[in-house]
């Protein structure tokens, strides 16, 4: 007798607000691939979220297609997984509105991402930036998601998502699945900027602060050689006092698939030049095959467009089931 076995659902998203960095790769995308066999997965390009910061329209469009190609080049099979653009599934914005009515100003006011982005974009502190976590909660809750792999910077957003879902369920019964975050417990969950290792690496940061997954080998070597370290010359893990060196060790270990302690042991007694070179070679060897596949995919515009169309149809079908249930529960007239 054949029967469809449903796996638990995994959901994650990345904003097409730049070209993804090794921070996005190590903190989030490589975990998507690791977990993808055990779950039914949806991977989204969060283009609506990207609008919370002013975007050049042509760049945003191009980056959305590029992000889809990068997801696939990083090993996510678009047949097995649903890969789609957030704006193609109108249910996201609709559920976000309902959830806005279940979210308190006070809890949004505590979000550190809002505080950081408000400082960075002081001329454009818009309401979308403030309610960003509500749209993110809608993304996750629409698909009755069980697990959400993200970097450490998104922990607070996952917590508010769970709070909103629990509040909604408290009023209407068990409508929404409460998701679990999947965040690495090590420093790999938060890769730091190369030129300011006390703040996180960000794809919308200064070009020398990050390594993009499409940077060529010479650029990677140059950026790492210029990375900020310290003056004591010792290769050891100490995030408090040696954030730059700790970050390089973390990147090197993550790319080699070994522990940070193993990297320290191997390079003990050598200078920071050796650490930077070892890190560059580890990064290059992981990124080279991804870049090759990416180049092939991005030249096939029709293929990317077909993947996104089919992804949006599959996602929309699932999203609609939750949205209808929510509309009914809150009392919207269904005809």
Chain residues in the site for ligand ATP (CB under 6 A) = 14-15, 17-18, 21, 23-24, 26-28, 150-151, 153-154, 189-191, 200-204
Is 203 annotated in the active site? yes
8 A C-beta contact, residue 70 and residue 26:
no
Binding mask 145-164 for ligand LTN (x = CB under 6 A): ---x-x---x--x-------
Which one of 80, 185, 200, 301 is the catalytic residue?
A: 200
What are the tokens at 194?
Answer: 């190369």
Is 117 annotated in the active site? yes
CB of 237 to ligand LTN, least distance (A): 26
CB of 203 to ligand ATP, least distance (A): 4
Cβ burial 100-129 (10 Å sphere, 16+ → b, else e): bebbeeebbeebebbeebeeeeeeeeeeeb
Instruction: Rank residues 138 and 326 by Cβ distance to ligand ATP and give the closer one.
Output: 138
Strand, helix or coil at 159? helix
CB of 317 to ligand ATP, least distance (A): 25
Instruction: Rank residues 190 and 276 by Cβ distance to ligand ATP and give the closer one.
Output: 190
Query: Which residue number places its CB atom closest to ligand LTN?
Result: 13
Is 242 annotated in the active site? no
Residues 172, 169: Cα–Cα separation, whole Å: 5
47 binds, among ligand ATP, ligand LTN, none (CB under 5 to 8 A by kind): none
In degrees, rounded to 5, the angle at the alpha carbon of residue 294 between the alpha carbons of residues 28 and 23 is 25
> How many chain residues bind ligand LTN (CB under 6 A)?
13
Residues 255, 260: Cα–Cα separation, whole Å: 11
Residues 83, 72: Cα–Cα separation, whole Å: 9
Helix, strand, coil share of the chain (percent; to 5) = 55, 10, 35
Instruction: Rank residues 72 and 326 by Cβ distance to ligand ATP and give the closer one.
Output: 72
Beta strands 40-45; 9-14: pairing state? parallel
CB of 157 to ligand LTN, least distance (A): 6
CB of 302 to ligand LTN, least distance (A): 27
Binding to ligand LTN in span 8-37, by CB under 6 A: 11-13, 15
Sequence-separated contacts (24+) of 33-38 with Cβ below 8 Å: 33/74, 33/75, 33/76, 35/10, 35/147, 35/149, 35/182, 36/10, 36/76, 36/77, 36/80, 36/81, 38/7, 38/8, 38/10
In degrees, rounded to 5, the angle at the alpha carbon of residue 191 between the alpha carbons of residues 37 and 162 is 60
Beta strands 40-45; 82-85: pairing state? parallel
Strand, helix or coil at 132? helix
Binding to ligand LTN in span 33-52, by CB under 6 A: 46, 49
203 binds, among ligand LTN, ligand ATP, none (CB under 5 to 8 A by kind): ligand ATP
CB of 286 to ligand ATP, least distance (A): 15
Binding mask 47-76 for ligand LTN (x = CB under 6 A): --x---------------------------
- Altogether, the residues listed in the chain come to a count of 335
Q: Indicate which residues carry an active-site annotation.
A: 117, 200, 203
Sites of contact with ligand LTN (CB under 6 A):
11-13, 15, 46, 49, 136, 139-140, 148, 150, 154, 157
């Amino acid at each position: 007798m054949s029967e469809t076995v449903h796996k638990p659902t995994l959901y994650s998203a990345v904003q097409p607000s730049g070209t993804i960095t090794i921070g996005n790769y190590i903190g989030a995308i490589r975990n998507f691939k690791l977990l993808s066999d055990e779950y039914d997965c949806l991977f989204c390009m969060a283009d609506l979220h990207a609008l919370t910061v002013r975007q050049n329209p042509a760049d945003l469009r191009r980056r959305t297609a590029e992000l889809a190609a990068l997801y696939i080049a990083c090993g996510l099979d678009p047949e097995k997984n649903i890969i789609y653009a957030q704006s193609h599934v109108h249910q996201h914005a609709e559920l976000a509105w309902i959830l806005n009515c279940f979210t308190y100003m006070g809890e949004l006011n505590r979000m550190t991402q809002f505080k950081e982005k408000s400082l960075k974009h002081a001329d454009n502190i818009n309401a979308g930036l403030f309610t960003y976590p509500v749209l993110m909660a809608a993304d996750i809750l629409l698909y009755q998601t069980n697990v959400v792999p993200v970097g450490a910077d998104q922990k607070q957003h996952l917590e508010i998502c769970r709070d909103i879902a629990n509040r909604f369920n408290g009023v209407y019964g068990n409508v929404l699945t409460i998701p679990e975050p999947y965040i690495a417990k090590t420093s790999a969950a938060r890769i730091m900027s190369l030129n300011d290792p006390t703040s996180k690496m960000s794809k919308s940061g200064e070009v020398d602060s990050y390594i993009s997954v499409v940077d060529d080998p010479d650029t990677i070597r140059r950026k790492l050689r210029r990375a900020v370290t310290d003056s004591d010359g010792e290769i050891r893990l100490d995030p408090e006092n040696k954030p730059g060196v700790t970050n390089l060790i973390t990147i090197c270990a993550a790319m080699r698939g070994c522990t940070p302690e193993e990297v320290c042991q191997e390079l003990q007694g050598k200078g920071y030049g050796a650490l930077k070179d070892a890190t560059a070679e580890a990064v290059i060897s992981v990124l080279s095959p991804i870049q090759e596949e990416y180049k092939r995919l991005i030249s096939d515009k029709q293929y990317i467009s077909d993947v996104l169309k089919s992804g949006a149809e599959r996602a929309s079908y699932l999203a609609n089931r939750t949205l209808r249930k929510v509309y009914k529960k809150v009392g919207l007239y269904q005809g």
